[in-house]
Structure 1
Amino acid sequence: MGLTVETAEKDHAVVRMTVRDEMVNGFGITHGGMIFAFADSCFALTCNDPDADGSTITVASGVDVNFLAPTTAGQSLIAEGRLVSRAGRSGVYDITVTTEDGAVVAVFRGRSRTIPNPAAR
């Protein structure tokens, strides 16, 4: 997808992506699946602490996404994720996708669950 990670820290991430020709649909606007995957990638970075010991991972247990404005090939998008609330092994995170000029393209709310890391067994 050509993502550039600008910030990846505990409970906060910022990622950039430039929309390419193959990312648009038949109407010439960015495919919703591409916007979803972009926001979901930011969500993964936001809810997984890069300084953790690796014994657990945090995964999506559900998401809601609202597409608010179209974008086209050549536009640069920014996804910023932040923790809303965490209780035990569950969390809620908001990811906002904007254009470079700050126009909101999509809002994504992710629900997470922290589980044992299967690779650490």
Structure 2
Amino acid sequence: MDMLNAYGATHGSVIYAPADVAFAATCNSGGVKSLALAMNVNCLRRAHEGEVLTAEEYEESAGKTTAVRRIEVTNGEGKLVAVAAGLAYRQG
């Protein structure tokens, strides 16, 4: 399966995937089950074929029923490739 778009850059879904995994893992940690309500991803720079992408997640807020998380996707040089914001429904 080709993971490059028509311009030869890494397809956006490949950039989204590590952000989604980080979001899900942290939202469901600590014994709290959560469901994603929304995820917004802003791509800031092109990712190239073969680049390693890393996602780091930061809790912006966590209430009784909802949580907001910021996810940063960086390349192997530590440059920011995408920023995501996720909203989760916390089931307790």
Secondary structure of 1:22's match?
coil
Q: Which residue of 1 aligns with 2:53?
A: 77
Instruction: List gaps (5 residues or longer) in structure 1.
Output: 1-20, 117-121
- Determine the C-alpha separation between the residues in 1 that align with 2:71 and 2:62: 15
Q: Which residue of 1 aligns with 2:27?
A: 47
* Mapped contact 2:60–2:70 kept (Cα < 8 A): yes
- Determine the C-alpha separation between the residues in 1 that align with 2:50 and 2:15: 14
Instruction: List gaps (5 residues or longer) in structure 2.
Output: none
Cα distance, 1:101 vs. partner?
Answer: 1.3
Larger RCO: 1 or 2 (CA < 8 Å, sep 6+): 2
* Mapped contact 1:47–1:83 kept (Cα < 8 A): no
Cα distance, 1:115 vs. partner?
Answer: 2.6
- Determine the C-alpha separation between the residues in 2 that align with 1:38 and 1:22: 18
Normalising by structure 1, report the TM-score: 0.70
Q: Which residue of 1 aligns with 2:70?
A: 94
- Determine the C-alpha separation between the residues in 1 that align with 2:52 and 2:46: 12
The letter for the 1-side match of 2:19 is: A
Cα distance, 1:46 vs. partner?
Answer: 1.5
Aligned residues: 92
Which is richer in strand? 1
Q: Which structure's CA Rg is the greater one?
A: 1
RMSD: 1.6
